[in-house]
Amino acid sequence: MNPSTVSEYLPEPTAEPAAKPTPSRAARIILILLGIVLWIGLVAGGFYAGKLYIDRSIEAVQQNNAIHMITIEQRIDSLDTQLSEIKQAINDADQAWANSGSTQKNLNQKIEDLDKQLKALEHSLSILKEAP
């Protein structure tokens, strides 16, 4: 066997396995920038969602306060009307009731009670008006 025939029987030398390509510097920078942009987007989205939640909560509280203010104003008007009716009844029947001390005391007590309720409701209304 001569050397040329021996080489025919030998397997062909195989190429070395290709090394895994390492990402270039530009690719790394792009990946880092993409990660930063994604992180900033998530943070901004979180802040936006939080702001929407807070705004909606404030709006719900304001609507609730408005409903309560209307209710309190109606009660104040009702008490004011009752107080006016009682005062008118006292003025119309002053002579007849002047002789009856207990009736006068009862009416005066009711007027004082209604007046206290009116002041309490006015105080509640002022608190609700000061709320945001």
CA distance 53 to 64: 17
pTM: 0.47
Domain boundaries, the chain: 27-130
Chain centroid to CA 83: how far? 39
Q: What is the DSSP letter of 4?
A: H
In b/e form, how buried is each residue of 61-92, taking b as 16+ CB within 10 angstroms? eeeeeeeeeeebeeebeebeeebeeeeeebee
Work out the angle at residue 99's Cα, subtended by the Cα atoms of residues 95 and 101, and round it to the nearest 5 degrees: 120
Predicted confidence (pLDDT) at residue 13 exceeds the cutoff of 60 = no
pLDDT at 45: 96
* Structure confidence by residue, pLDDT tens digits, 73-131: 999 889 889 888 888 888 887 756 556 667 778 888 888 888 898 888 888 888 888 87
Predicted confidence (pLDDT) at residue 33 exceeds the cutoff of 80 = yes
pLDDT at 61: 93
Predicted confidence (pLDDT) at residue 1 exceeds the cutoff of 90 = no
